[in-house]
Amino acid sequence: MYNASNARYRGIFPVVPTTFTASGELDLPSQKRCVDFMIDAGSDGLCILANFSEQFLLSDDEREILTKTILEHVAGRVPVIVTTTHFGTTVCAQRSRRAQDMGAAMLMVMPPYHGATFRVGEPQIYEFYAKLSDAVNIPIMIQDAPAAGTPLSAAFLARMAKEIEHVAYFKIETAGAASKLRELIRLGGDAIEGPWDGEEAITLFPDLDAGATGAMTGGGFPDGIRPIIEAHRMGDRDKAYALYQQWLPLINYENRQGGILTAKSLMAEGGVIACEAPRHPWPEMHPDVRAGLIETAKRLDPLVLRWA
């Protein structure tokens, strides 16, 4: 029987953006301020090196630097999930073990994929997560996202949760997320320690209704999203709905307009970080989109615009 109270981790675990200088180098002082802001804004935990962290633009050495820098700077204030996705089973396992040894609380890993067409079938995906589990002793979150182009049925996810020791958390970002969460919980029972919401909280309210106990959102306004989750958890759906309705325009701006640069634009506008530029060749946000984002944010007065 599924029991949400058994979860080690729950609440809002936003993705930490990677901060660069205007010339594209890592900006570690800004990175530390970014983390401090996100903790002060009420994050229950953090996730680093995810797609919204521009992880696909980082070298292996930079991943190591960021993991070490952020985990040492967080210093146990909140748990940190480290994304260790890689197509290669051995490489992913090695990355994951290093992240664990540096202090990661959990790993987030997408199924193996590369480019538009390189995929593997369920037997290989199962073996991939089983070997990853054998290499570590912390929870593994499977990221079920369209970017992988890999269908992962609720039945397959539930089977892995039941049979693979450390597979216990699931970030569901596919179409019909609420229905999939319900089916995952029904089939997996108490093996599903953490059914989580993603996609910048655009589906948060129905996903909470479906049983989601965590949300991995963008990092710009956890102070806006956390109260929605808390009100829902306390059984006050009217308050949760009102708050969700209030913040939905900004959530929409991130999910559908500004994308992965949204958090950095908000942080730069508020003086949290020095530069919001992505790393080439990722395009910068259109100035009109940025203007609309900032206008929308100012109507809500999130901490990101005042923290610095």
**How confident is the model over 228-254, as pLDDT tens digits?**
999 999 999 999 999 999 999 999 999
Q: Which of 273, 210, 267, 218 is nearest to 247 (CA)?
A: 218
- Say whether pLDDT at 173 is over 90: yes
How many of the other CB atoms lie within 10 Å of CB of 291?
A: 11
Q: Are 259 and 253 in contact (CB under 8 A)?
A: no
The three-state secondary structure class of 302 is: coil
Q: What is the pLDDT of residue 9?
A: 98
> What sign for the dihedral angle of Cα 71, 74, 79, 80?
negative
Q: What is the pLDDT of residue 48?
A: 98
Q: Are 142 and 167 in contact (CB under 8 A)?
A: yes
115-140 pLDDT, tens digit per residue, is: 989 999 999 999 999 999 999 999 99
Give how far Cα 10 sits from Cα of 25, 34, 194, 231, Å.
Answer: 33, 21, 7, 14
Which spans in 49-164 are helix H?
60-74, 89-102, 122-135, 154-163
CA gap 197, 174 in Å, rounded:
10
In sequence order, the 6+-apart residues with CB closer than 8 A to the CB of 167 are: 129, 133, 140, 142, 160, 161
Of the candidates 68, 131, 162, 171, the residue annotated as catalytic is 171
The single-letter code of the amino acid at 11 is G
How many Å is the maximal CA-CA distance in the chain?
53
Q: Which of 48, 96, 51, 93 is nearest to 74 (CA)?
A: 48
Q: Are 119 and 149 in contact (CB under 8 A)?
A: yes
- Say whether pLDDT at 1 is over 90: no
Q: What is the pLDDT of residue 118?
A: 96
The three-state secondary structure class of 113 is: strand
Q: Which two tokens stand for residue 26?
A: 């890592």
Distance of CA 86 to the CA centre of its chain: 16
Percent of the chain with pLDDT over 70: 99
Q: Are 47 and 14 in contact (CB under 8 A)?
A: yes
DSSP H or E run through 143? strand 140-144
CA gap 243, 233 in Å, rounded:
13
Q: What is the pLDDT of residue 280?
A: 96
CA gap 304, 306 in Å, rounded:
6
Q: Which two tokens stand for residue 245?
A: 């309705």
Q: What is the pLDDT of residue 111?
A: 98
Q: Which two tokens stand for residue 161?
A: 């949760």
Domain boundaries, the chain: 10-241
CA gap 294, 287 in Å, rounded:
11
Q: What is the pLDDT of residue 94?
A: 98
Is residue 171 part of the annotated active site? The answer reads: yes
Q: What is the pLDDT of residue 43?
A: 98
* CATH 2.102.10.10 correct for 10-241: no
CA gap 255, 211 in Å, rounded:
22
CA gap 94, 96 in Å, rounded:
5
Q: Which two tokens stand for residue 30?
A: 């800004």
